Amino acid sequence: MAKLFDAEHMKAVDEFKKAVPDMHKAYDEWKKKAMSEGALDRKTKELIGVGIAVAINCEYCMDSHTKKAKAFGATKQEIAEAIQVAAGILSGSALSQGMKAMQSYDEK
C-alpha cells in the first residue's frame, strides 16, 4: 500500500496533539483500554476495526487495523469476511434509508 500520509500531515497531527495534550492522552488511554483483551479477544476487536474502517472509508484505519488483525493471527479470509460484513451492513443501511425516499414520493 502506498504511504498514506505525508510529512506535512504527520506534522499537523503532532501540532494537534500539542494543542490538546490532556485530551489526546485521555483518548489514547481510552483507545488502549477499548482495544485490550476483554470479553472479545484482540484479533476479534481488530477485525471489527477493519469492518468499521471500511464502512467509514478511513484509509489509515484500514491499514492499521488490517495489519494489527494479521499480527493477532487473522487470516486473509477473516479479513475478507469482516469487509463483507461491513459491506452488507452498509448496503442494508442504504436500503433502509432509501425507504424514506420512497415514502417521500408518495407524500402530497
**pTM listed for this prediction:** 0.84
Mean pLDDT value across residues 16-25: 94
Q: Where are the domains positioned within the chain?
A: 41-108
CB atoms within 10 A of CB 100: 9
Quick one: which of 61, 98, 90, 66 has its CA closest to 80?
66
Q: What is the pLDDT of residues 8-20, one digit of tens each?
A: 878 888 899 999 9
Please list, in sequence order, all residues whose beta carbon lies within 8 angstroms of the beta carbon of residue 69, skipping any fewer than 6 positions away.
43, 46, 47, 49, 50, 78, 79, 82
| Pair 51, 86: CB distance under 8 Å | yes
* Homologous superfamily assigned to 41-108: AhpD-like (1.20.1290.10)
